[in-house]
Amino acid sequence: MRIVLLGAPGSGKGTQAQRLIEAYGVPQVSTGDLLRAAVAAGSPLGLKAKAIMDAGKLLDDETMLSIIRERLEKPDAQNGFILDGFPRTLRQADELGVLLNAIGQPLDAVLLMEVDQQALFQRLTGRRTCKTCDRVFNVYTSPPSSPPPCQGRCATPELFQRPDDAEATIKKRLDVYAEQTAPLIDYYANHGLLERIVAEGELSVVTERMRSALEKRLKQR
Ligand code: AMP
């Protein structure tokens, strides 16, 4: 199964991708996570990416395309993947299409995670990540005390806020989404791939909506 999760920052792409990988046995490919790993490793890519990410801007398409090409060649992506955070521009979407068509493995669906603007802002300002296991919490909607931090996996969880979740940067990221990424909604609708998902409410209810949209698509294959 090859899908793209499309949606504004804070729409739950990463959280829901985590839940879908268990159900479908395909990896989550998050370009944001790949870039954060490069920043943490201090690689040349990481050094270039850090300032751009902290400013809430997008990295250039060439860089992102070479990262995604390399990632999709890995053995674990041969039976499918859940793309989270890619594509984010029309050029990236076009090139992804070319790449997947060339290997005869086109996308099955693009799920658009729809969340209203105010909820997005609260999700992003409240987001905190465990330093040890990367589990994501929200101080408003799923604080670390409920469920217990890392569900007991990390003895002394230390939570941090992503630098790009600072309020001023969030505003920039939402603007960048509206300008550069939102045009992909029409793009994928025109390609007959778009499924709209109401991405608010209980996590498990949202997962179920996504699964039923995917099942419908897989039946049509
Ligand atoms: P995310 O975790 O998906 O919100 O991504 C965090 C940041 O990484 C973004 O704000 C961008 O600076 C950068 N980034 C991630 N994916 C892409 C992409 N497909 N194109 C350009 N920049 C990206």
pLDDT tier for residue 153 given thresholds of 50, 70 and 90: low
Atom of ligand 1 nearest to the CA of 68: 19
Distance 194 CA to ligand 1 centre (A): 21
Across 191-209, average pLDDT? 96
Amino acid letter, 191 = H
How many Cβ atoms sit within 10 Å of the Cβ of residue 72?
21
pTM recorded for the entire structure:
0.90
131 sits in which H/E element? none
Residue 155 has pLDDT above 70, yes or no: no
Residue 141: per-residue pLDDT:
76
Residue 86 CA, ligand 1 centroid: distance in Å? 8
Greatest mean pLDDT among 19-23, 107-111, 169-173 = 107-111
DSSP annotation of 77 reads: G
Count how many Cα atoms sit within 13 Å of the Cα of residue 201 in the half-sphere of its side chain: 12
Q: Whose structure tokens read 């003895």?
A: 155
- Nearest protein CA to atom 15 of ligand 1, as residue: 32
Output the 3-class SS for 83-123. Answer: EECCCCCHHHHHHHHHHHHHCCCCCCEEEEEECCHHHHHHH
Q: So what's the pLDDT on residue 80?
A: 96
DSSP 24-57: H---EEEHHHHHHHHHHHT-HHHHHHHHHHHTT-
* Residue-level pLDDT at 146: 52
pLDDT tens digits, one per residue of 82-94: 999 999 999 999 9
Angstrom distance (rounded) from CA 39 to CA 146: 30
Give the pLDDT score at 26.
96
Given a contact cutoff of 8 angstroms between Cβ atoms, the answer to whether 4 and 191 are in contact is no
The radius of gyration of the chain's CA atoms, rounded to the nearest angstrom, is 17
Please give the domain boundaries of the chain with CATH numbers for all domains: 2-114+180-220 (3.40.50.300)
Would you say the CB of residue 9 lies under 6 angstroms from ligand 1?
yes
- Cα separation, 103 vs 82, in Å, equals 17
pLDDT of 144 reads 63
Cα-to-centroid distance, 131 and ligand 1 (Å): 20
Atom of ligand 1 nearest to the CA of 86: 19
Mutate to test the pocket of ligand 1, among 30, 33, 35, 115 (most ligand atoms within 8 A of CB): 35
What's residue 154's pLDDT?
66
Higher pLDDT, 114 or 119: 114
Q: Which two tokens stand for residue 134?
A: 């990367």
Over 90: is that where the pLDDT of 67 sits? Answer: yes
